[in-house]
A and B are shown apart, each in its own frame.
Chain A
Amino acid sequence: MVVGAGPAGLAAARAAAEAGARVRLIDSAPSAGGQFFRGRPDVPPVHPKVEHLADSAVWHLESVHNGHTVRVRTGPADAPVRRGVTLHADALILATGAYDRALPFPGWDLPGVVTAGGAQAMAKGHGVAVGRRVIIAGTGPFLLPVATSLAGTGATVVEVLEANGPAGWLRAPRALLAGAGRLGELAGYAKALAAQRIPYRTRRTVIAAHGTGRVEAVTTAALDNGWRIRPGTERRIAVDAVCVGYGFTPQLELAVAAGCRLRDGFVEVDAAQATSTPGVFAAGELTGIGGAKLAAAEGTVAGTAAAASVEVPRAALRAVRQGRIFADGLAAAHPIQDGWRTWLTDDTLVCRCEEVTLAGLCDALDRHRALGVRTLKLTSRVGLGPCQGRVCGRNAAELAAGHTGGHYDPADTARRPIAAPVRLGELAEEETVEEMNGQA
């Protein structure tokens, strides 16, 4: 069974099917493709021997003695009419992808402030621009395709701000070589920006959003190497939308539920994409951020290895190795620097769901001596809302560590026994239980 039908999951399902396994591919989206292939005509077709369960969210996962039990709800998103089914699989490939990391700053919860990926999904999936005058800020090469997509939907991209310096790549020459193909792609985006006269500035970012009821303007500022604001460089710019993206966070809850070991916040895998849990494989952004091509190569390796009957193709293994070198270079060139913590004011929300401010977080830390993520959550309510800390978990852990000098493991915020929302009424319903043996 493959969970996630993005580039990684599609390739994994195909490889496992070609190796002779019975394969089910489950994804909560109405059609296959994941984040990268959204709205693109070149999305690879689901292999004809693969059974694709669309509109199907995996909300619970349990490892049992002879495999894994997966609970799924199928139907329109968050509707009470969804059908529930419990499936069994001997081998499981997790390819649940990642989502944008957003750093908090004053006004970041005003409507009109969205993640870079969110803007990209609107533009690519629906041809809709999130605003008319848009500013893009954050770090990483992903900001470039977001700018070109937005410009393509008719929005004016005021500027693209990269918080890191331009020289990052020079420190990783090995990555430069390994990623020659990707670099060409990025150069293409850079050219498109230049052609449309969209300014690209480094060592600058959005440090505040202003407006009543929605964003009307932002303050940008120059940053030093540690991302502290350089005084006197603030500039106010009128915009009606802000896109922020500081890299990506893996969608970990199913892997955590399966007991997979993590390393540096990602799922640890061996050369065959096997996780530390027997019978569970992981592929794509869940194991590290490296783009759609690397995700697909990892999927091919995982699918073949999970089917366990044929040797893993050398070409796929090589593609994974090359891709990882490039990904490591990418991470090294676009680090998140601690100085972001100084952008917040006391009343800046850290947790958007439970509306916990920075002052509220610090108060809980001081008064209750919250020395771990669990106590921190219970005393401040940070991460207890509907998003279950997906948005604020890492940020809150880092702010807490900065405030008390203690250690708060961000991975502790990814323990979510319920991986996708289910309604209380749905929990009470009888479910169809299906056995599916001899399948990957």
Chain B
Amino acid sequence: MKVTVDGVPTVARPGQTVAAALIERGQTSWRDTRIGGRPRGLFCGIGVCFDCLVVVNGVPDVRACQRVLADGDEIRTQRGAEL
């Protein structure tokens, strides 16, 4: 299965969440906060903390630990509050 992360082609396994694929490729953060620009990535791992937000196929605020990757998904780092 092929996906892209910030434009870079990456291989992912079916059933893998966005967060699992990002961590496996050695990435620990994929968002920064609205006020302090603090980097964030995985925290609770089960959909409750909303720290892991990421842009998937142009849609921001997707929880990376909850979204299961589909072939061709375009993952992008989220900067602050995106609309």
A residues contacting B by CB (< 8 A) are 28, 30, 35, 76-80, 99-100, 102, 109-115, 117-122, 125-126, 128, 130, 213-214, 251, 352-355, 385-387, 390-391, 421
With A and B bound together, what is the CA distance between A251 and B49 in angstroms?
12
Question: How many interface residues does B have (CB within 8 Å)?
Answer: 38
With A and B bound together, what is the CA distance between A235 and B33 in angstroms?
30
Residues of A within 8 A of B39 (CB): 110-111, 213-214
Give the distance to chain B from A252, nearest Cβ to Cβ, in Å: 11
Contact of B20 among A122, A213, A386 (CB under 8 A): A122
Residues of A within 8 A of B15 (CB): 30
Q: Mark B23-42, 1 if CB is under 8 A from A, else 0.
A: 11000110001111011111
Contact of B23 among A77, A130, A355 (CB under 8 A): A130
12 A-B pairs besides A77-B68, A113-B43 with CB distance below 8 A are A35-B46, A78-B66, A79-B59, A79-B62, A111-B39, A214-B28, A214-B29, A353-B51, A355-B33, A355-B38, A391-B43, A391-B49
Find out whether the CB atom of B61 lies under 8 angstroms from the CB atom of A387.
no
Find out whether the CB atom of A115 lies under 8 angstroms from the CB atom of B62.
no
B residues contacting A by CB (< 8 A) are 15-17, 19-20, 23-24, 28-29, 33-36, 38-51, 53, 56, 59, 61-63, 65-68, 70
Contact of B46 among A99, A111, A352, A354 (CB under 8 A): A99
Residues of A within 8 A of B28 (CB): 111-112, 214
Find out whether the CB atom of A114 lies under 8 angstroms from the CB atom of B20.
no
With A and B bound together, what is the CA distance between A115 and B42 in angstroms?
9
Give the distance to chain A from B83, nearest Cβ to Cβ, in Å: 11
Q: List 8 A-B contacts (CB under 8 A).
A: A78-B66, A112-B28, A112-B41, A126-B20, A128-B23, A352-B49, A387-B49, A390-B49
Find out whether the CB atom of A118 lies under 8 angstroms from the CB atom of B65.
yes
Find out whether the CB atom of A77 lies under 8 angstroms from the CB atom of B63.
yes
With A and B bound together, what is the CA distance between A115 and B46 in angstroms?
10
Find out whether the CB atom of A78 lies under 8 angstroms from the CB atom of B62.
yes
With A and B bound together, what is the CA distance between A101 and B49 in angstroms?
11
Give the distance to chain B from A386, nearest Cβ to Cβ, in Å: 4
Find out whether the CB atom of A128 lies under 8 angstroms from the CB atom of B24.
yes
Residues of B within 8 A of A421 (CB): 50, 61, 63
Find out whether the CB atom of B48 lies under 8 angstroms from the CB atom of A390.
yes
Give the distance to chain A from B78, nearest Cβ to Cβ, in Å: 12
Find out whether the CB atom of A114 lies under 8 angstroms from the CB atom of B45.
yes
A128-B20, A214-B28 in contact; A111/B70 too (CB < 8 A)?
no
Contact of B45 among A30, A110, A115 (CB under 8 A): A115
Find out whether the CB atom of A126 lies under 8 angstroms from the CB atom of B17.
yes
Find out whether the CB atom of B16 lies under 8 angstroms from the CB atom of A126.
yes
With A and B bound together, what is the CA distance between A387 and B40 in angstroms?
14
Find out whether the CB atom of B63 lies under 8 angstroms from the CB atom of A78.
yes
With A and B bound together, what is the CA distance between A35 and B46 in angstroms?
9
With A and B bound together, what is the CA distance between A80 and B34 in angstroms?
22
With A and B bound together, what is the CA distance between A438 and B35 in angstroms?
51
